[in-house]
Amino acid sequence: MATTSQSISRFAIFTDHIRRKIKLENCIFKFKIDYDKEQLEKESKLFHYKPINTETLNNIYDVSESDKDDLSFIQKDTTWWRDQESWNTGYKLKDENVNDLPESQRLTDLFKRIVGTENIKPNFFTQTKGTEVKTHIDVGTLCAINFMIKGGETPVRFDDADAVFVENYTVALLNVSKNHGVPVQTGEDRLLFKLRFTHNKYEEVKEAIKQYQLDWMMA
Ligand SMILES: [Fe+2]
């Protein structure tokens, strides 16, 4: 029979496990959905890319409608945020007349319907093999869905005040209003398609996706 102190320590391990699980669920929600990776990769090639650096972040910050934006993470790695060129985002079409983006458009429209919002911004992101993304909070974004196209071997890392979570995923809703980053990219260059929610919080989007999954199962 377990002694009182053994029971207390088992209970402490159990409550710690539950606490970690709740914290993790506040950071990332992985889910399954069909999407055409090859088509998204083709569409990603239609854009010009630029580094996500101090200048870019300040520009987004200037036009952001979020009251949660905080650029103080830059102070921790000032030089990296000023100089980095390995993490980039697509920002404009190479040819404005070539606007053939059926899969990007389909996914954007689908999640507008699921969440009941018009405030979703689609972007492609690239990260070079052998490089990392320093810890940050996404500017102008409350939460985001990432669709991995290439380089999914590398996880996302959430740095909570008293816990670190490192998670691999293929498609996931991420609470990018919490501190997060990407460890050194292994395998191959990373390419992902991101839907950024500018007005809807993580919990709201998560519940909408869960409801959609439930409706789909019942149909
Ligand atoms: Fe991010």
Q: What pLDDT tens digit does each residue of the chain (219 aa) get?
A: 677 777 778 787 778 888 888 888 999 999 999 999 999 999 999 999 999 999 989 888 777 777 677 888 999 999 999 999 999 999 999 998 888 899 999 999 999 999 999 999 999 999 999 999 999 999 989 999 999 999 877 899 999 777 899 999 999 999 999 999 999 988 899 999 999 999 999 999 999 999 999 888 787
Distance 30 CA to ligand 1 centre (A): 16
In a domain, 17, yes or no: no
Distance 180 CA to ligand 1 centre (A): 6
Here the tokens at position 94 are 């190479």
Annotate 107-142 with DSSP letters as a single string: HHHHHHHHHT-S-EEEEEEEE-TT--EEEE--TT-S
In a domain, 63, yes or no: yes
User: What does the pLDDT read at residue 5?
Assistant: 76
Distance 174 CA to ligand 1 centre (A): 9
Distance 8 CA to ligand 1 centre (A): 39
The span from the CA of 195 to the CA of 79, in Å, is: 28
Domain that holds residue 214: 28-218
CATH classification at residue 114:
2.60.120.10
Report in angstroms the alpha-carbon separations of 213 from 185, 207, 209, 216.
Answer: 31, 10, 6, 5
In a domain, 23, yes or no: no
In a domain, 18, yes or no: no
User: What does the pLDDT read at residue 1?
Assistant: 63
Distance 88 CA to ligand 1 centre (A): 11
Report in angstroms the alpha-carbon separations of 77 from 6, 62, 116, 163.
Answer: 44, 21, 37, 21
Distance 176 CA to ligand 1 centre (A): 6
Count how many domains the chain has: 1
Q: Are the C-beta atoms of residues 61 and 211 closer than 8 Å to each other?
A: no
Distance 85 CA to ligand 1 centre (A): 15
In a domain, 5, yes or no: no
pTM of the predicted protein model? 0.91
Distance 181 CA to ligand 1 centre (A): 6
Distance 179 CA to ligand 1 centre (A): 8
Distance 139 CA to ligand 1 centre (A): 8
Question: Of 194, 197, 196, 168, which is closest to residue 182 (Cα–Cα)?
Answer: 168
In a domain, 62, yes or no: yes
In a domain, 15, yes or no: no
Distance 217 CA to ligand 1 centre (A): 31
Distance 81 CA to ligand 1 centre (A): 13
Distance 33 CA to ligand 1 centre (A): 21
